[in-house]
Each structure stands twice: as structure tokens, then as C-alpha cells.
Amino acid sequence: MSGKIKSNSSGFIANTAFRAMKIGNLLLMTLSFGYVWYSFYADKVIAPFYDRGNLLILVTFMLVYFLYGRTYDAFAVDILKFSELVYSQCLSLIATNCIMYLIIAVLSRRIVSAIPLISCLLVQVGLSFIWSLFARRIYIRLFPIKKTLVIYDKHSEIGSMVAKHELKNIFSVKKNVTVQELGENVTSKFEQIDAVFLINIHSHVRNQIIKECVAQDISVYILPRIGDVMMSGAEKMHILHLPILKIARYNPKPEYIIIKRLFDFCAAGVLFILTLPVFLLVALAIKSTDQGPIFYKQCRLTKDGKKFNVLKFRSMRVDAEKDGIARLSTGDKDTRITPVGKFLRKVRLDELPQLLNIIKGDMSVVGPRPERPEIARQYEKTLPEFALRLQAKAGLTGYAQVYGKYNTTPYNKLEMDLMYIAKPSLLADLKIIFATIKILFMSESTEGVSEESTTAEKISKN
């Protein structure tokens, strides 16, 4: 027991130090902005602030940077690669400085020079690089590598994924065992283990393992099943003096639906007007390539299985599916994609015409990505629950697009979509919209499926 107390005490100290390190990042970035504010902008506003007003500006910067940082995981030293950590902080800093520039311009009632803020941003990027470098090293020293046990039902690639995504500095997979191999004597398997991954384990066995891990102060990481994801959105209530969890079909409050539709219409309308020049340039580029049609219409599914034609800029040859077989893209290796199409897909411009679908009401800005009926039918043959994602209106971006990849398995995409459906909120929508910006320039999110899995029938077997 004393060993546990000592372990908990050292863990408290490590966690406190880690939080202090994150606060240090906030202070570094705020101080660099503060220097620029006091040196170049404080005296140029129409009604110069006194000490409290200046302090409010600094607090505003810190708060905005913190919110963007949380959205982009800018402080997630424990789960991000070094390059991703710096990238996330840079995005947060760019967004925060842009907002602060607008605030300064409003306070000054004129367009002010952005050069001091740009210089500040460059300094902050340098500080971010240095902080991320030291933060990762300090984290590794504060938190020893966790000796990890992976327990799975059928098949597990967690061990290789941990190494691939540079999580080997956090987890060291000592053993992979199936539920059957675990046997009756569960306790003996947890000796000298700090963390346990549970991969698609049925609830009865999983609950026993969780209780044992908590009793032994072992961290548990669970890859949930579909039922678990649906449970996450359960409404807590008390009936007959008993704790009850209520689960129902997606049915958000009327005010959420109304505000979401107004936001969709206004946001898509404004973006469409702003991007009209881009529409014209892309149209010329596509037309000059092969004289084919500019837009590509394809039947997709939205809420309750309703069919609609999604609009895209054509990125493939006109005869891409002349054999009538529905195929997913294999990415850069796909010979059906035109040279212009490769660029459009890389920067996501092929999706731009879907703004018209949103204005019309067929789609929302945020929601599960619409799937083709024939591919959805193939998925449902081996994964009947795939139809559950049709509870909500299809979206231009979604939870699975932000946190998954193009070649993420249908099962895992379904789980991510259900995580969004389980807890609908405007805050969740805004977070996904901002997080979408992060993945726009990340090639990993657009990796194609393997050549062996280009047909829907084969993919459904994953």
C-alpha cells in the first residue's frame, strides 16, 4: 500500500510539473505579444487604455490562444509527433494573431500595420519550436515509458501502430494476448504492467479487466465497440430512485437544428461569394485539360437514407467508372485522376462546389460524410450498423474526416461518426470546423485505400 501512495505522490508531482510546462507555453507566447502591443499598438488606439485595459488585451490573447490550442491539440506533448506539435501550435498562433489584429484595427478605427504582429508571429514560431523540443524531453523524463499489455478479441495492430506513430516513447508493448489466452487468472497477467489496451473486447470480460486494472492503479485505454460509442451519449436520469441511462435515436433540440441551418446557409453563402474567382479559375483549368464537364454529380445518401446529387469539381477522367463498378480512390497511385485533379484533391478544392449543396439544404457544414448507395449497401452486408450514421444530415466535414483518414476502416469511421451523433452541439460543430483547417495540409488524411481494396465489396471485409 505504501508503494501505491508513493507512486501516486510522484505521479501528482509529475502531472503538476507537466501542467506548469503548458502554462509556461501560454506565458511565453503572451509575453511576446505583450511586447509588440506595448511597443507598437497600445498608444495608437483611439482611446488609449490604462493598465487594466492593457491587461485585458493580454488576457484576451492568452484566452484565444488557449482555445485554439485546445482545438488543435497544440499542448498534446504526450500523443503528437514533434512535427505535429509544432504544426498545431503554429496554426493556433496564426489564428490568434489574426484575431488580435482585427481587434487592434477595430480599436484603432483604421487599418494598422501588420508588420509588428508578423514579426511577433515569427518569434513565436521559434519559441514554439524550442518549447516543443524541450517539452518532449521533459515529458519523457517526468513520465517513464509505460510497460503495456494489449488484450484483443480477434486481431490487433496496436503494437506496430504505436511504433509507427512515435508513441514508443510513451508505451512499450510487452505482450499481445487474446481474451482466450488471458484465461481465468487475470491478475497474474498484470504483473509489472503500467497500461492495458483493450481492443474490441466484449463488455462482460472487459468490465472485469477494468475493475482489476483500477484496483491495481493501471491505466486502461479502450478501443470501443459500436454499443459503447452509443452509450457515451446516454442521458443520465433517476427513476424510482435508481440511476438510469436513456439512449434514443438522434433527436437534437429544435433550437440546435434551427441555429445549425441558419449557420449552414449563411456560412456557405458567404464562402461561395468569396470563392467565386476560385470557381472560375478551377473551371478553366478543368476545361482546358480534356474538354470534359467541369462538375461531377454523384448520387449520395443523407439523413434517413434520402438520396441527393453531390457536386464536385471533376478530378477524374470522364470514363473513370465505365465498367460500372464503384471504386474508392487509391490516392496518388490512382491512374484515373487527371493532373489537375491531383492538385484539386491535394488542396481539397474538388469539394468546393458542395457549398451549393449546403445552401440548398441537402448537406450541412458538419456531419457524417455522404456515402454512395451502392458502397453503403456493400458495407451493410457485413456491418449492418453502418446505416446508423444516416441519423444525421450529411456534412462537408465531420468527426471521421478530422480524426480519421480516407483509408480508415468503415467500422472505425462509423464509430467516429456515432461519437458526433451521440453528443450534437454547436460547440462540437465549431471545434470540428476549426480542426478541419488543421488537416487541410496534412497528406496523411487523404491517403488512398490499398489497390487490393478498391472495390466496395472488398473494403467491406475490413
d(C-alpha 190, C-alpha 183), whole Å: 13
pLDDT given for residue 458 in this prediction: 41
- The residues facing 223 across adjacent strands are 199
d(C-alpha 305, C-alpha 4), whole Å: 53
Please return the burial class of 442, using the count of CB atoms within 10 Å of its CB with bins 0-12, 13-18 and 19+. Answer: exposed
pLDDT given for residue 301 in this prediction: 95
* pLDDT one digit per residue (tens) for the chain, 462 residues: 434 444 556 678 888 888 999 999 999 999 999 999 999 998 877 766 677 888 999 999 999 999 999 999 999 988 888 888 999 999 999 999 999 999 999 988 889 999 999 999 999 999 999 999 999 889 888 888 888 988 888 666 666 676 666 677 788 888 888 887 877 666 677 888 999 998 888 888 888 889 989 888 899 998 888 888 888 888 889 898 889 989 888 889 999 999 999 999 999 999 999 999 999 999 998 888 877 888 989 999 999 999 999 999 988 877 666 555 555 555 556 677 888 888 888 888 889 999 999 999 999 999 999 999 999 999 999 899 999 999 999 999 999 888 887 667 888 889 999 999 998 899 999 999 998 888 877 665 545 444 444 444 344 333
Domain boundaries, the chain: 2-142, 146-223, 254-459
pLDDT given for residue 128 in this prediction: 96
φ, ψ at 231 (rounded to 5°): -65, -30
pLDDT given for residue 440 in this prediction: 78
CATH of span 146-223: 3.40.50.2300
pLDDT given for residue 25 in this prediction: 96
pLDDT given for residue 330 in this prediction: 52
Q: Helix axis angle, 426-439 relative to 51-71, nearest 10°?
A: 80
pLDDT given for residue 8 in this prediction: 58
Q: CA–CA distance from 81 to each of 25, 156, 365, 419 (Å)?
A: 17, 22, 29, 25
Burial state string for 270-281 with b = 16 or more CB within 10 A and e = fewer than 16: ebbeebeeebee
pLDDT given for residue 89 in this prediction: 95
pLDDT given for residue 401 in this prediction: 87
pLDDT given for residue 455 in this prediction: 43
pLDDT given for residue 462 in this prediction: 36
pLDDT given for residue 223 in this prediction: 86
pLDDT given for residue 454 in this prediction: 42
